[in-house]
Structure 1
Amino acid sequence: MKSFFHAALAFALLAAPAHAQGEKFRTGPVFEDFGPVADVDADFSIPDKTKMRISFDVSKAADAGELNRTLVSAARFINMHARASVPIEDINVAVVVHGKAVYDVSNAARYADAIGGENANAALIASLTGEGVRIIVCGQSAAYYDVTNDDLAPGVEMALSAMTAHVLLQQDGYAINPF
C-alpha cells in the first residue's frame, strides 16, 4: 500500500509543474489552433522595423497520427513574434522538408498509403500555407520515398533538393534555424 501511495504522490508532484507550465502557454494571435507560446518579459529586445526571414529544416517524421514538431515550431515562431509586436508582414517563414518527413506533408491518400490513418498535419499545413509559410519538399527525398508533386498536400512546393532550397532561401535573406 505504501508503494502505491508513494507512486501516486510522485505522480501528483510531477504532474503539477506540467499543468502550471501549460497555463503559461497560449496560441494566437495568428494561429489559434497551433503554436502555443508563453509571454516573456524579455531584456533582449527586438528592434523596431526588424524583418524576420527564417527557414526550418525537418527530416524527422512525426509518429503516426501526431503533428510534426517542426511544423508546430513554425507556427510557434510566428505566434511568438506577432505577440511581441513584430508585424506579420515582416515575418517570413519557410520549412524545408526532407527524409521520411516528406510523408508528413503529403496529401491524405499518400499519407494513408505510406503510414496509415489520417495525416494529423493536414490542418496545420493548410493554416501555415494560408499565412504565407512556404513548405518546400526535397525532390531527392521525395523520389526516394516515391512521393510525387501530386502526392503533396495543397500549398506544398517541390524543390530539386533540400540543399537547393536552403541555398536559395539563404540568398534571399533567410537564416536557418539552428535547432
Structure 2
Amino acid sequence: MSLKDKRVLITAGPTRVPIDDVRVISNTATAATGFILAKKFKDAGAKVTLVHGVPCDCSLKCRVKVLRFKFFDELNQIITRQLKSGKVDVFIQTAAVSDYKPSLIRRGKISSADKELKLTLVPTVKIIDRVKKLSPDLFLVGFKFEPQALRAALIKEARSLISKSKADLVVANTKSGNKYRAYIVSAKKT
C-alpha cells in the first residue's frame, strides 16, 4: 500500500485525568513511538496529524500538523472530531490512554492537611473501541503494552483488543528491565 497522500492520524504520549484543579493522575508515556511513526509516515509521503499529550520531552524534526491535549476528555474530543471529518485513512493509537478517572473531580485544591485521601475511580470510555464505529473504512492500528509479559500472553491480549476494537493490526509490546519486545498481530490470521 502506497502511503503517498494518505491521511494518517497518530496519537502519542501520556493522558491525564484531573483529581482537583491542581492534581492529576497520569502515566509515564513519553510519546517517542508516536513521534518516530509520524516522521516515518511523513517521509513516506503521508499527510500526518500528530495528537500528543503534554508534557512531552520529544522534539519533532519533521513538518506535520500537531494537535496537543492535556486531559483524556480533550483527547477524546479531538479524535472524535478528526474521525467524523471523514479525512482519516489510517489511525494509529500509540498514546497511553487513561483507563480510569475519578468519579468526582473536586473543585479547587484538596487540602494537604487532610490525613487521608480516598479516590473512587471509574472506567473511561475506550476510545479505540469507538474508532471503527465513527470511521469504519479506515485502517486501525492499536498498541497494547503489558509490562514483563510473556509472548503468549501478549499475543492473547492483542487478539482480544482486535476482537473488541476491530483493529486491523495491534502492536503488542512489553518491557522487562531495559529490554523491549514487540509483536505485530494482524486481524487476518495468516
Fold in common (TM above 0.5): no
Q: Which has the higher helix share?
A: 1
Which range, TM-score by smaller chain? 0.3 to 0.5
Instruction: Give the strand-richer structure, 1 or 2.
Output: 2
Q: TM-score, normalising length from structure 2?
A: 0.32
